Amino acid sequence: MPILKNIGFLATCKEEGGQGAIHPIRNAAVAWKEETIQWAGKETNIPDTYAEYEPVDAGGKMVIPGLIDCHTHLAFGGWRSDEFTMRVKGKSYLDIAKTGGGILSTVRGTRNASEEELYKKASSFLEKMSALGVTTVECKSGYGLSVKEELKILRVYRRLSETHPMHIVSTFLGAHAIPPEYEGDREGYIDLVIEEMIPAVSGEDLAEFCDVFTEESAFSVRESRRILFAAQVAGLTPKIHADQLTSCGGGELAAELKAASADHLEKISDNGIEAMADAGVVGVMLPLASLYTQEKPLNCRKLVEGGVKVAVATDFNPGSAPSYNLPLAMMLSCNQGRLTPEEALKGATIYAAKALNRDHELGSIEKGKSADFAVINAPNPNFWIYHFQPNDCIMTVSKGEVTHSEDRK
């Protein structure tokens, strides 16, 4: 059984105390047995029980809970680098979608890929995410848009969760776009989602959450409510891509349905913020998406001051956010979203766990929680995020196993 010693700064990230309270312990140690944390505290106070534990030296560095990326579209076929150039030259995300690009382009690429190809590609992303200190990844479907293809993507996630020492949380996103074969028959597609996809997904227990892209150009509030209500009845918890491009009431709907999270929120209304705060819905900032689509970023301060807990995620996908770098998203959530580094850290740990209804087992360094942490080559969160470097993660421990380790003198 290992004990990590010589930790200069342990950011425990316990939930209480608000967005910026990371509850640090200086000169700390953490002991774990198999997948579970046994003890965390000051090194001078290590109980005798852990005297026989095998010491691992943290080199005086910072230790944080394993990072949680609570919003990704991890499995997809192809890429969309052509759209990147088009957007740089002034075409909007919606203009590109209207001419057959955007989500539907990735639907073609994903339908053309085998389950094995999707598995291998997604698996290589997970390895690189793990090297950045990430130990939990939420993964959405939504590039299949037929019963067979949506199940194919969700089965990739199931296999990843069985083969990788990371926590994989699956979300069904059949209502991401209307597929070409249902053009002109949106009611028909929504019926397919409700009557065939949701029962199939819940029947095979392939997802915990159901997400909808609630947007003028995607699914209306009325349509989203219908879909999410059916999902709730089938045992899936709602999540919403809300108020990204237009203020259309996605935040309010998330509150009404007691969704686990409402994500994006660049155009959230004041009423939406109030409703989310009252209902305890976590707001998820996705700064890479606003950066790549050249949209005004979400001002997280308004949410924090309005009583909403804010999580930070990458939104990793081949179109609007083609990077899985969660520390980069955290840095942007500070520079563009006005979170402090400590607030961003809480947003990528315990509040991200909350957005996945996993805060009882993930997201903080406390006795009884999953042994997930990252050793970071920085003295504290402020210096880490301020002096942003390609990768400051020296070691990642996920479910008690070392999944990444790098010798740095």
Amino acid at 75: A
220-228, 249-257, 317-325, 380-388 -> range binding ligand NIG (CB under 6 A) = 317-325
Shorter beta-carbon distance to Zn ion: residue 38 or 141 = 141
Shorter beta-carbon distance to ligand NIG: residue 106 or 325 = 106
User: What SS3 state is found at 188?
Assistant: helix
Residues 49-78 that bind ligand NIG (CB under 6 A): 73
Shorter beta-carbon distance to ligand NIG: residue 58 or 122 = 122
The set of residues, in sequence order, having a beta carbon less than 8 Å from that of 21 and lying 6+ positions away, is: 14, 342, 346
Q: Compose the 243-282 pattern: x for residues touching ligand NIG by CB under 6 A, - for all others.
A: -x--------------------------------------
> Could you identify the residue written with the tokens 């590609």?
121
Min dist CB 210 to ligand NIG, Å, is 15
Residues 386-405 that bind ligand NIG (CB under 6 A): none
Q: How would DSSP label each residue in 341-386?
A: HHHHHHHTTHHHHHHTT-TTTSSS--TTSB--EEEESSSSHHHHHH
Interface residue with ligand NIG among 12, 19, 38, 106 (CB under 6 A) is 106
Per DSSP, 133 falls in state T
Residue ranges for the binding site for Zn(2+)?
71, 73, 241, 315
Shorter beta-carbon distance to ligand NIG: residue 317 or 403 = 317
39-47, 109-117, 265-273, 319-327 -> range binding ligand NIG (CB under 6 A) = 319-327
User: Do residues 160 and 139 lie in contact, with contact meaning Cβ atoms separated by under 8 Å?
Assistant: yes
Residues 200-229 that bind ligand NIG (CB under 6 A): 213
Min dist CB 244 to ligand NIG, Å, is 5
User: Do residues 166 and 204 lie in contact, with contact meaning Cβ atoms separated by under 8 Å?
Assistant: no
Amino acid at 362: L
- Rounded-to-integer distance, Cα 191 and Cα 385, Å: 46
Angle at 254 between CA 253 and CA 258, to 5 degrees: 115
Min dist CB 232 to ligand NIG, Å, is 21
Q: Is position 208 an interface residue for Zn ion (rule: CB under 5 A)?
A: no
Residues 307-326 that bind Zn ion (CB under 5 A): 315
Q: Which of 152, 141, 158, 139 is nearest to 106 (CA)?
A: 141
Beta-bridge partner residues of 276: none
Per DSSP, 298 falls in state P
Residue ranges for the binding site for Fe(3+)?
71, 73, 241, 315
> Could you identify the residue written with the tokens 């999902």?
231
How many residues comprise the chain?
409
Interface residue with ligand NIG among 103, 113, 153, 221 (CB under 6 A) is 103
Chain residues binding ligand NIG by CB under 6 A are: 73, 102-103, 106, 213, 241, 244, 289, 315, 317, 319-321
**Residues lying near Zn ion in the complex (CB under 5 A):** 315
